[in-house]
Amino acid sequence: MKPDYFIGLDIGTSAVRCVVGTFDPNGSNTPSIIGHGSAENQGMRRGAVVHVDEVADAIVKAVTEAERISGMQIKHATVNVNGSHVTGLNSEGVIAISAANREITTEDRLRVEEAATIVSLPTNREIIQFFAKSYSLDGQRNIKDPIGMHGVRLEVDAHMVVASTPNLRNLDLALEKAEVEATHHTVSGLAAAEAVLTRQQKEAGTALIDVGAGTTNLIVFEDGEVQYVAVIPIGGQHITNDLAIGLKTDLDIAEDVKVKHADIRHSAKKTTATVKKGDVSHNFDFEDVSMIVEARVEELFEYVDKELQKIKKSRKLPGGIVITGGTSKLPGIDELAKEKLQLAARTGKLQNIGGLVDTVEDPGFTTVVGLMLLDMLLLPSLPPVHGKSLQNARGILDGLFGRLKK
């Protein structure tokens, strides 16, 4: 039976968000948002579950709100995996083609990809996603899809995402307690990319920086494929902590200062940052606020550049940088990224989404909207997507997102 609605569930360090989508009721295949929910999450640190029951409670609250708005009962969702325990790993696989006619089949492609996954990993680590960057056949390199070609030696250049098995089990336990089944898992940044990057950007060579509360995802695309995945242990909460220390104030006041007054544009003309808590006004020097925030964001971009240097892409991405996540709302962050990374930089915007889109335009919803889109593409028995058959849609997804862990 064809599903008529699709769910993304973003279990983040500071909040859990849920989005319900369907196909546009007017007959087009444009995704349309029909429900959403969010709840504060105090059960995670830097993307990892530290209190299962609190995470489960936050999931229930976000899902219940999304059910109320959409009128749908939610029992499954595509869910993100995040945290500093998530790392990227390059690998290569090679096989001999044994068929008499030497024609490459789907089975051969799967065999060479399987060969690339045979790597030595600690017992507490597992592969959650696999991306075939390119194939080689008898020395001919940079082949997108070898099926139907002829040769005797097939190779694949791959990138895999590896995560901590205990962290994955804790996440699944929280979902189980909330009575929600994870139909698929994917890294947060990959979901965000589905929501904000165009195909042209993925082809040209673009880095997506998804700044969450506890961590930042870096995803590099080139030739339409995922080339690199990294999780950086810095997020928006670190800015709040810095402000609390630097301004000698409480964390809740520091968070208000960040949300209402943080601005790293050098053209900003404020002199005082004022926030009210109850009947009390708290005044801070605006220049101090800007200096503290800018120092942490600069550090983040230094980490990003180090990761880009590892793959020889520092200052070499024609598509530039796209920044998303809650911290992307920080005025001046795109200009600072441009200055520090020496690349074009912009903040991400949702692409081709209908329905209640105005309610999820906040960059903090980017990941969950992307998860909903992936749920739409990955569930079986789908109608045509953007004029393409399901088989073609799956082919696009195979190249872009690899195989997602169920």
pLDDT at 379: 60
Give the end of a domain, one of 328, 348, 368.
Answer: 348
Share of the chain above pLDDT 70, in %: 91
Q: What is residue 37's three-state secondary structure?
A: strand
Q: For residue range 153-167, what is the model confidence (pLDDT) as tens digits? A: 999 999 999 999 999
pLDDT score of 268 more than 80: no
pLDDT at 27 over 70: no
Query: In which band, very low, low, confident or very high, does the pLDDT at 376 lie, cut at 50, 70 and 90?
Result: confident
Work out how many domains the chain is built from and give that number: 2
Helix intervals (H) in 71-163: 106-116
For the chain, the average pLDDT equals 89
Same domain, 141 and 212: no
pLDDT band at 209 (very low <50, low <70, confident <90, very high): very high
Q: What CATH number has the domain bearing residue 152?
A: 3.30.1490.110
Which pLDDT band, with edges at 50, 70 and 90, does 63 fall under? very high
Whether 115 and 220 map to the same domain: the answer is no
Q: What CATH number is associated with residue 340?
A: 3.30.420.40
- Would you place residue 67 in the very low, low, confident or very high pLDDT band (cuts 50, 70, 90)? very high
Assess if residue 133 is contained within a domain: yes
Pair 159, 212 in one domain: no
Using a cut of 0.85, tell me whether the model's pTM lies above it.
Answer: yes
CB atoms within 10 A of CB 238: 20
**Span 132-158, average pLDDT:** 95
312: pLDDT strictly greater than 90: yes
> Are residues 23 and 33 in contact, defined by beta-carbon separation less than 8 angstroms?
no
Specify if 134 maps to a domain.
Answer: yes
Residues 210 and 336 in one domain: yes
Phi-psi region of 272 (alpha: psi -120 to 50; beta: other; left: phi over 0): beta
Is 313 part of any domain?
yes
Q: Which residue has the higher pLDDT, 290 or 29?
A: 290
CB atoms within 10 A of CB 248: 9
Please report which helix (H) or strand (E) contains residue 397, including its range: helix 390-401
- Residues 327, 214 share a domain: yes
Q: Among the three residues 163, 189, 213, which one is the final residue of a domain in this structure?
A: 163
Cβ count within 10 A of residue 318: 12
| Res. 390: pLDDT tops 50 | no
Residues 314 and 240 in one domain: yes
Domain-embedded: residue 54: no
Tell me whether residue 20 is in a domain.
Answer: no
> Are 94 and 229 within one domain?
no
Range of the domain at 255: 198-348
